[in-house]
Amino acid sequence: MSALVATLPLFGILVGAILQYFFGRTLELRKHAQLQKGQAYADYFRAFAAIATIGRTKDTLANLTDAKARICVYGSKEVIARLAAFERSGASTADTQSRALVEELLRAMRRDVGTSTGIAIGGDLSLVLFGPPRT
């Protein structure tokens, strides 16, 4: 009986250490995935902006394709659905409907990475992304 009493604290310490390891590892994996997701989303819009300003070069298209691939790996279901809707529309910002799809994509990305509080509404997001409306 005294041997059992003596080993119980050691068993408790061992179980505690194992649980701490697994919970810590799970947290680190989640942090890594969240970081990768945010980086992929930012890289997508960076490449998208480069194509809009520089044009479709080999490098800008490669950057866009890379970001899309990482979004497919790390992105949420909603973000992938919004990106697919934008791609189905022709992936252009030439018309109001396509611009609205880009805004929805960005909103979904912001929600997914947890930065949706205080999200731009009304015309603010469109103004920042596309500039003032042309008259």
Structure tokens, 79: 């973000």
Per-domain boundaries in the chain: 34-130
The pTM of the whole model exceeds 0.85: no
Q: Which of 126, 98, 107, 113 is nearest to 34 (CA)?
A: 113
Is residue 67 within 8 Å of residue 47, measured between CB atoms? Answer: yes
Is residue 105 within 8 Å of residue 82, measured between CB atoms? Answer: yes
pLDDT for 26-68, tens place per residue? Answer: 788 888 888 889 999 999 988 988 888 788 899 999 999 999 9
